[in-house]
Amino acid sequence: MGIFCFLLGCDSGYSESSFTDAPSSHFVASRPSKGSPAPDFRLMDMKGKAVSLSDFKGKVVLLNFWATWCGPCRIEMPAMEALYRSMRSKGLEIVAVSVDQQGTAVTRPFQEAMGLSFPILHDQDYEVGLTYGARTLPMTFAIDRQGIIRQVVFGSRDWNSPEARRGIAEVLQEPILESSQRM
């Protein structure tokens, strides 16, 4: 955990601001940004099954990078679960990517204690996190039904706030564009 704590900051602040792009000085230059396609990846879930981001095509995905040792990550998880339960039927999927090196040994007890029902994937070598430029935790990407990053949230967020729910609802209400209609 020591190396990850050094490489990854854990945002001790609480994000109440609107979705935004953060200063690029904190992230790798190739970080996907708002308006760009979300890079696909393949990681193992809690049951040892390989899961790809593309498996959620047609859904709005909140892609959250987190760790069990990150205090702000732990704080925002119950609100994420509440959001997931209330908006899953509308097409929302939350994909929580844990960067814990110990994998299910630490995420399974955490999931059970928190009562989390959304998928938890494991990025133990932090390759996907680096691809997304997640240098601080938590970091969340809202990805639309076409696979385009629509919102980027740096730090923890109160996912039960009217602002957060409104932002996700807007992405959920967007029409699904046929490939010929996209720019």
In angstroms, the first-to-last Cα distance of the chain is 43
Would you give the distance in Å from CA 138 to the centre of its chain? 8
* Number of other residues whose CB lies within 10 A of the CB of residue 141: 24
Instruction: Clarify whether 10 is annotated catalytic.
Output: no
The residue from 5, 10, 70, 73 that is catalytic is: 73
Strands 92-98, 60-66: pairing kind: parallel
**Catalytic residue positions, numbered:** 73
